[in-house]
Structure 1
Amino acid sequence: MNQPPSAIQVSCPQCQATLSFPRAAAHTTVTCSNCLEDFVATPTTETSSSAVGSSGGDDDALRRLLNPHFDRSSADSEKIRLDGDLDSDEYPVKKKVRVLESGYEFSVTCMVCGTRLDVNDALIGKKVKCPDCHSGIEVRTPPPDRRRAPVHPTESARDDDDYGLSAAANPAVASSPFHSIANDLIANAEKEVAKETPIAPRKQQIPALDALQRAEDSQKATDEQERPNLPAAPFRTGVLKFLIDPLTIARLLVLGLVFFVELEAIQASITTAEGGPQAQFMSVLSRMFAITLGAVFVTNLSVSLLGILQDTANGKDAIESWPDVNFLDWLGEALYVFSGLFMAVFPACALAKVVSLVGAPDVVFWAISIGGSSLGILILFPFLLVSMLESGSPIMPVSQPILRSLRLARSSWVAFTMLSVLVIGAGLCLGAVRVLWSDSAMMNLLVAVLWIVVVALYFRLLGRLTWCCDEAVLAEDIRLEQTSEAAHKSA
């Protein structure tokens, strides 16, 4: 009986497993039974034929036990077909393939999760991270048959046309006898349109500016249509007519009630300041409440009085420009009143401070402060407020049209100043009544409401003065324009 050839042991370059193959399989392509990867069998050690023969005898005994009719001669004649034996006509010899030495790609398998990755020869000897389990995979040199040339994308693969829609040819237009007729009609229509007079393109304008311009034009047109003629006696005719409006009465009553609460809070903070610890604590609370309520009240009152002035200047008897519930909108309008009052009293206060620094007694200081401030409110405040409203800026105390009105409507300015003395005097009298009857709550409430009415009447008269100044300046402008036109015609 012939002895089988001795076996060789090879190491798989992929999984490093040690495998046994017949000696005839040396330097041929074999498959690893562990990782199922093909590689070239390079022998490392040889196994003696005795070991193989002993194992073969055990196999023969087992086969005889399972099959009593086992024929050993047929089993010995079986041979393993190797790639080197494939040289017959039935098994032709494989063609030699060019082995890539550089610039090739191959695949590696993650030993943890089995994910297959495509790498190139530049990563040999390095580790790559598995995208699934994030474990490191060491890249080793692949066998020649696993190396493949890199595939470069074609131009058609970069055009994002996965379905080849761009290559579809346009369907041919079916010819029809009516096409020529339609084309002739379209050509004639284009000629007729070309003969028409071209229309100048509309000037493009920003939508926001266009809307603002249209709103201003509409407001001016509405004011011109609804504004009545100035009464012959503007400071007597219809001056108190605004007080019969229910909305105005309700607004003034609410303002008077809030003013009454403000005065009571101020009085409570003063009277309780000289008491014990508990009274002083109540004084602090009253003071905080008075400051907060006073800030809101003064701002709302300023906006309300400004609305009375503007509606009166526009010829309205029913006041409509009352402040809304948004407190932030009040600040911009109230700034006109605050700025006018500050500019009116600042010269007198500054002069009083200078006199006090020189060494004048306190009586002179208070006389200049109170007297000068009252005179500034009486004379300067109306001019400053109307000028700022005309210029549209609370920091512009002088306006050219209002300066012209001092000459064109000086009688109206004089009449308003005389009436202002009476109104301010009435307000001072109400203040004296408040001091004398400070313990009577009903009297204090009545004084607060009447004081609000007096202030509203003052701004009503100031609105009539603004109306007179506007009419006088407008009449003067019309006269100058007519004179200029007449001079041009005569020339």
Structure 2
Amino acid sequence: MTEHSSSHIKTHVVKCPVCSTRMSVRTMDVGRKTECPDCHHRFTIEKAEIKLEVPDPIVLEDGYGLKEVAHDHDDARKKMGQEIMSQAQREIKEQAERKDLNKRTQGAFEERKPRNYQESEEEEKKHREQLTPIDYDPREELVDYPLTFSPKEIQRDILLFSDVGLLMRWVFLSLFASVTVYFAANAIYYGLQPNQTFMTYMYSLAGSALSVVLGAGTIIFLGSHFLFLVMSISSGQEEWDWPELGIFDRMMEALFLVIAALLSFVPFGIMATIDPWSALPLLAFTFLAFPVIYLSMLDQGSVVTPWSGMIVSSLFKLPGKWLLFYVATSVLISAILAAGAALFFFAGIDRLAYIALPGGVMLVGGTFVYSLWLGRLSWEIGALSAAQREEEE
């Protein structure tokens, strides 16, 4: 007997005559007995009944909407295929018509576009020809920042200090300056101890190193913000958009403040090496020279050119404004120094670190006030220069 795999064995389904359970049996077992798995009734396997499914007749519609039965299936298939082909041809034709319509519409737009552009250019040219020099004045949309101490301008300075960006930077830089002053005070305290030990020496060295590092960072950010305030006020900007700059850009901006301060301290430093007491009057030169050098470098746009004819000539053309600036800033610096001396007097050398926080707040706040007034002075110089150019024209 030849064995066949189970995949080649023919089977069919039979139904139990008692419980109607359907089960699959082998076709080769027809005529034999089998047992129902549910009711256990034994019955004879019969041949499978083969039912042929006859498809329903295809119903078509003629041109008059009347239905007829197509007994010839081949003719019905042909007609159905013809209808499908005609429908596809109609869709292709409609797509082609839509593409052609889009092309005509796009072409009409392309024809109109150059003409519209030409008309707009002609209108803009006529508008430019009708403009007067006043329309080109960049200061028209800006505000005035005269260097006066009237109640109105004092109120404006207070409002400027209420700027959220300025307040945040004041707090941030005050903390940095306070920490710097704290480490510097500790370095001075341990360095002045009469009996120096290894630990006091290390404390003094560590405090000096930390104060130098933190002080450098404070000067970089303070110099960058100092430049921003001076330029914003001098250009007449009412709303400030504080820029987010990288550390390298801030270092470049801080160079204006650092180099201007160093150049103004040169005479004092040279004389201090010869006779310290004789060098004290030269601090007045530092106070007078710093704003001239700083504004000159800003006017020239370079830290290597600390001289500007316009800034120097303004000393003679605007003597009242310069005098007012020097008086106001001298009062400001004197007030900060007096407050610092009072704090030092009450704290003493032993508690020098306790004045770090108020000292940092006063230092940064005073620098910001100085920058606002310097910006107002620069605005006065710019207004004078603009008036002179208008007279020459």
Q: TM-score, normalised by structure 1?
A: 0.47
Per the TM alignment, residue 322 of structure 1 is displaced from its structure 2 partner at its CA by 5.3
Question: Using a 3 Å threshold, how does the CA distance of structure 1 residues 235 and 422 change in structure 2: closer, same or farther?
Answer: farther
- Structure 1 unaligned blocks of 5 or more: 1-220, 357-364, 482-491
1:435 is aligned to 2:347: no
Say if 1:235 and 1:461, in contact at 8 Å, map to a contact too. Answer: no
| Larger proportion of helix | 2
Per the TM alignment, residue 251 of structure 1 is displaced from its structure 2 partner at its CA by 0.7
Within 5 Å, which residues of 2 pair with 1:45-60?
Answer: none
Within 5 Å, which residues of 2 pair with 1:30-179?
Answer: none
Question: Using a 3 Å threshold, how does the CA distance of structure 1 residues 348 and 235 change in structure 2: closer, same or farther?
Answer: farther
1:392 is aligned to 2:301: yes
Correspondence for 1:277: 198
Say if 1:349 and 1:368, in contact at 8 Å, map to a contact too. Answer: no
Q: Select which of 162, 181, 186 maps to 1:263.
A: 181
1:423 is aligned to 2:345: no
Q: Select which of 421, 437, 457 maps to 2:369.
A: 457
Correspondence for 2:236: 315
Correspondence for 2:108: none
Within 5 Å, which residues of 2 pair with 1:339-488?
Answer: 339-353=259-273, 356=274, 365-372=275-282, 374-436=283-345, 437=347, 439=351, 443-481=355-393
d(CA) in 2 for partners of 1:265, 1:222: 51
**Bigger shift: residues 389-398 or 402-411:** 402-411
d(CA) in 1 for partners of 2:334, 2:207: 30
d(CA) in 2 for partners of 1:225, 1:242: 21
d(CA) in 1 for partners of 2:140, 2:234: 14
Question: Using a 3 Å threshold, how does the CA distance of structure 1 residues 388 and 232 change in structure 2: closer, same or farther?
Answer: closer
Q: Select which of 148, 158, 173 maps to 1:233.
A: 148
Per the TM alignment, residue 380 of structure 1 is displaced from its structure 2 partner at its CA by 0.8
Say if 1:242 and 1:319, in contact at 8 Å, map to a contact too. Answer: no
Letter in structure 1 aligned against 2:360: A
Within 5 Å, which residues of 2 pair with 1:166-245?
Answer: 224-231=139-146, 233=148, 237=153, 238-245=156-163
Say if 1:307 and 1:319, in contact at 8 Å, map to a contact too. Answer: no
Correspondence for 2:170: 252
d(CA) in 1 for partners of 2:140, 2:186: 52
Q: Which has the larger radius of gyration?
A: 1
Structure 1 runs, 4 residues or longer, greater than 6 Å off? none
Q: Percent of pairs identical after alignment? A: 20
d(CA) in 1 for partners of 2:184, 2:244: 25
Q: Select which of 215, 220, 224 maps to 1:294.
A: 215
d(CA) in 2 for partners of 1:370, 1:317: 40
Per the TM alignment, residue 223 of structure 1 is displaced from its structure 2 partner at its CA by 5.4
d(CA) in 1 for partners of 2:172, 2:321: 32
Per the TM alignment, residue 232 of structure 1 is displaced from its structure 2 partner at its CA by 8.0
Say if 1:423 and 1:454, in contact at 8 Å, map to a contact too. Answer: yes
Letter in structure 2 aligned against 1:464: R
More relative contact order, 1 or 2 (CA 8 Å, 6+ apart): 2
Say if 1:408 and 1:473, in contact at 8 Å, map to a contact too. Answer: no
Say if 2:295 and 2:378, in contact at 8 Å, map to a contact too. Answer: yes
Correspondence for 2:117: none
Correspondence for 1:106: none
Superposed CA deviations along residues 101-159 of structure 1, whole A, max 9, x for unmatched, are: xxxxxxxxxxxxxxxxxxxxxxxxxxxxxxxxxxxxxxxxxxxxxxxxxxxxxxxxxxx
Say if 2:223 and 2:257, in contact at 8 Å, map to a contact too. Answer: yes
Q: TM-score, normalised by structure 2?
A: 0.58
d(CA) in 2 for partners of 1:230, 1:329: 27
d(CA) in 1 for partners of 2:215, 2:266: 22
Question: Using a 3 Å threshold, how does the CA distance of structure 1 residues 346 and 254 change in structure 2: closer, same or farther?
Answer: same
Question: Using a 3 Å threshold, how does the CA distance of structure 1 residues 302 and 222 change in structure 2: closer, same or farther?
Answer: farther
Letter in structure 1 aligned against 2:248: L
d(CA) in 2 for partners of 1:232, 1:278: 53
d(CA) in 2 for partners of 1:276, 1:432: 30
Correspondence for 2:253: 333
Correspondence for 1:91: none
Say if 1:256 and 1:445, in contact at 8 Å, map to a contact too. Answer: yes
Question: Using a 3 Å threshold, how does the CA distance of structure 1 residues 232 and 327 change in structure 2: closer, same or farther?
Answer: closer
Question: Using a 3 Å threshold, how does the CA distance of structure 1 residues 235 and 442 change in structure 2: closer, same or farther?
Answer: farther
Letter in structure 2 aligned against 1:233: T
d(CA) in 2 for partners of 1:336, 1:302: 8
Question: Using a 3 Å threshold, how does the CA distance of structure 1 residues 382 and 250 change in structure 2: closer, same or farther?
Answer: same
- Structure 2 unaligned blocks of 5 or more: 1-135
What is the number of residues matched between the two proteins? 250
d(CA) in 2 for partners of 1:302, 1:452: 11
Correspondence for 2:50: none
Say if 1:248 and 1:319, in contact at 8 Å, map to a contact too. Answer: no
Superposed CA deviations along residues 318-339 of structure 1, whole A, max 9, x for unmatched, are: 5434563x21112211111111
Say if 2:147 and 2:377, in contact at 8 Å, map to a contact too. Answer: no
Letter in structure 1 aligned against 2:381: C
Question: Using a 3 Å threshold, how does the CA distance of structure 1 residues 329 and 422 change in structure 2: closer, same or farther?
Answer: same
Question: Using a 3 Å threshold, how does the CA distance of structure 1 residues 406 and 435 change in structure 2: closer, same or farther?
Answer: same
